[in-house]
Amino acid sequence: MSQKEFQRVKVIENAAGGRLSVGEASRLLQLSERQVQRLKRRYRPDSLGWVQHGNRGRPMPWALPVPQRQLILNLARSKYQGFNDSHLAEKLRAEENLCVSRETVRRILRSAKLASPRNGARENTALAARRARVSA
């Protein structure tokens, strides 16, 4: 339980017990009086489930399924090895019929510690010459 949830439990316990008014509880929790009333209705002294959000522990509805993530990783490591994130996302869309954004591809690859390949980034020759003069 987080510190915020622990404070919420204590304040609502006191409000439900009559030791705090709804107005005082709303100021302590930085919520409206209506939200404090709602929390008081949900309050159950025998459990702490009422304080936790209902979506806790559930997967995000927009998250890619694990098999699809694995497929993207396998393709990035084999068939499309060496492709950068944008090119990989385009190829997945065109060749594999997987419609995922570039950012999703980037997130999947970075979580697997795969970096986007870079072509030999050439240093600006004028900048290199300036650095050489300054260091000499």
Does the residue 13 lie in any domain?
yes
Averaged over 14-25, what is the pLDDT?
Answer: 93
Nearest to 79 by CA among 63, 103, 67, 96: 96
Q: Say if 21 falls within a structural domain.
A: yes
Residue 99: give the domain boundaries.
66-111
Q: Are residues 46 and 85 in the same domain?
A: no
75 in a domain, yes or no?
yes
Flag whether 117 is in a domain: no
pLDDT tens per residue across span 64-113: 999 999 999 999 999 999 999 999 999 999 999 999 999 999 999 999 99
Residue at 132 is within a domain: no
According to the model, what pLDDT value does residue 7 have? 92
Do 52 and 5 form a contact (C-beta atoms < 8 A)?
yes
Q: Is the pTM of this model over 0.75?
A: no
Q: How many other β-carbons are positioned within 10 Å of the β-carbon of residue 25?
A: 23
pLDDT at 74: 95
Q: How many structural domains does the chain have?
A: 2
SS (H, E, C) 32-90: CHHHHHHHHHHCCCCCCHHHCCCCCCCCCCCCCCHHHHHHHHHHHHCCCCCCCHHHHHH
For residue 95, tell me if it sits in a domain.
yes
Claim to verify: residue 32 and residue 71 sit in the same structural domain:
no
Q: Does 135 fall in a domain? A: no
Distance CA 20, CA 22 (A): 7
The verdict on residue 79 lying in a domain is yes
Same domain, 85 and 45: no
